[in-house]
Chains A and B, each alone.
Chain A
Amino acid sequence: MKLSNVLKAEFRIQRKSSLVKFILITTFSLSILFGFIIFHSSYFAGPLSFLALMKGYENGFNFSISLNYSIFNILIFFIIIMASTTVSDEAQKGTLKTVLVKRVKRDEIIIGKFLFLLLFFFCLIVIISLFSLAIGGVLYGFPNISEKNYIIHSSLSLFFNYLLSLLLVVFPISALISLCLFFSVFFNNNMLPLISSLGVNFIFYIFAELDVYKYFFLANYMLYPLKTFKRMAQGLPLVWNPDVEYMLLATFLYSIGFLVLATFFFRRKEIL
């Protein structure tokens, strides 16, 4: 069985799905709304002063990453909703049975769904980034960020760091998808895996606040790539600190670990 066939099939299923349509419409509408708010907040300190994200740091990168960061916070919820129901929804509707009597292997279904979700959300973030970067460039240009005569970040360095942050964001997304997919495999209805995934992620967010244990919890790394670049774009003289290594290791282990567990349990699942 070719994995590309599973991916093609998943693409054909999801392109007409109402959840995917809802996610696309909501994400693009919110991007436009956030774009307006960020644009106005950089000029009006009055009633929108609490939104003055960019006061004094107007540049295209800051506009783009501020918008992207806000959208990503919402996308985390969409990732949880979609990944935690991707298998259970098919089990609930009975289409899983129809597919499983075909020559597809159970592992391929899990990996196909994982790859589709990863590609879908990664592409969504890249598209929003490119559009917001283009609009940010038109509105503010891409000047070097400097303090007096000292260049903190050149525009070229900011561009490469933005690309790097977008590549790094794949890791926490893949870890989150694996975790939710694992819950999706267990249940034959949508509510239980959704509640389990939301509950576990909520607990992870609480533990990620604790200095001692935070390195073990996914929530500590979810926003890390975009948050770090956002600080760079706002003029902080940051580089990728050693946390990036912890993030790569932890999210890689989460991704592989939960993907292996999901396939292990899915192989043994009885489809009644």
Chain B
Amino acid sequence: MKEDFLLSIRDLSKSFGKRKVLDNISFNIRRGKITGFLGPNGAGKTTTIKLLLGLIKKDKGQIELNGKEIQDAKNLKFNITIGALLEFPSFYSNLTARENLKILALSDNYQIDEKRIDYLLNLVDLKYDKNRKIKTFSFGMKQKFAISDALLNDPELLILDEPFTGLDPNSMDSLNKILKNFVKNNGTIFVSSHILSEVEDLCDWIVLINKGKVILKGELKSLISQKSLKEIYLKSTKNEII
């Protein structure tokens, strides 16, 4: 049976000066599934995500959406509705949470929908903070706010870079539920994370990257049938210390 790939990444490479950050990486993001993107610090996860979001340019390689090649990654966002959460998200600190979402809705070519803004802020448990300025938010609150921003345009694909960072256990649990619910409603998620327990609980497929190369990819269920994800991760990234 032919697999249903939403996004296919083929031989993607990126260098900063002489330093090769991504070296011919290839993997697929399956429609309606959660694909986890794992790797140690500096492995190239954030660079891959920035490439997919068009923030930086690829040196070579192909990005295919529904089997069709997208020449410039900058155009990917015009071909599919993407919600993104970047590592260390930044917002307009002088403005309130609601005002920020209004601005971001306008930037996404959406008319301001006050009801949706309120719904999303309730969803991420910022109901009572919606009129507070972002500069008064803690890191965890900013992270939760970033999730509401990522869901703002009712996306088909969520690209999340370390979404669990800075969240307390309750918030992690509720984010887990939000993401599972998103996929239930035909959404697709590509998520990078260091928190292996969350990845194990959440993801259907994983891609493991180290030093700019994909070293392991496959269905999580079959991968962890004999070893735990932690063991696979540590062995694959050649870190023997447990």
Could you tell me which A residues sit within 8 Å of B by CB distance? 1-2, 5-6, 8-9, 12-13, 16-18, 93-95, 97-104, 106, 268, 270-272
Contacts and interface: CB of A to CB of B under 8 A. Distances in A.
B9 interface: no
A6 B106 contact: yes
B109 A103 contact: yes
A104 B90 contact: no
For the residues of A in contact with B, the DSSP-based class is: helix
Interface stretch (B52-60, B121-129, B192-200): B52-60
Nearest to A104: B107
A99 B108 CA distance: 8
Contacts of B149: 98
Contacts of A18: 94
Interface string B105-144: 0111100000000000000000000000000000000000
Contacts of B89: 94, 98
Contacts, number: 80
Interface string B141-154: 00000000100010
Contacts of A106: 74
A95 B92 contact: yes
5 cross-chain pairs, A with B, having the tightest CB-CB distances, nearest first: A94-B90, A9-B106, A102-B107, A102-B108, A271-B55
A9 B103 CA distance: 5
A13 B92 contact: yes
B56 to A, nearest CB: 4
Contact of B86 (A9, A12, A97): A97
Contact of B104 (A94, A99, A270): A99
Interface string B30-59: 000000000000000000001001111100
Nearest to B81: A103
Interface of B: 50, 53-57, 74, 77-78, 82, 84, 86, 88-95, 99, 102-104, 106-109, 149, 153
Contact of A270 (B57, B91, B94, B102): B57
A89 to B, nearest CB: 11
B56 A272 contact: yes
B222 to A, nearest CB: 33
A98 B86 contact: yes
A12 B94 contact: no
A19 B106 CA distance: 23
Given A6-B106, A103-B109, A270 B90 contact: no
A271 B56 contact: yes
B50 A103 contact: no
B107 A103 contact: yes
Max chain B C-beta neighbours (<10 A), residue from A5, A16, A100, A102: A102
A96 B153 CA distance: 18
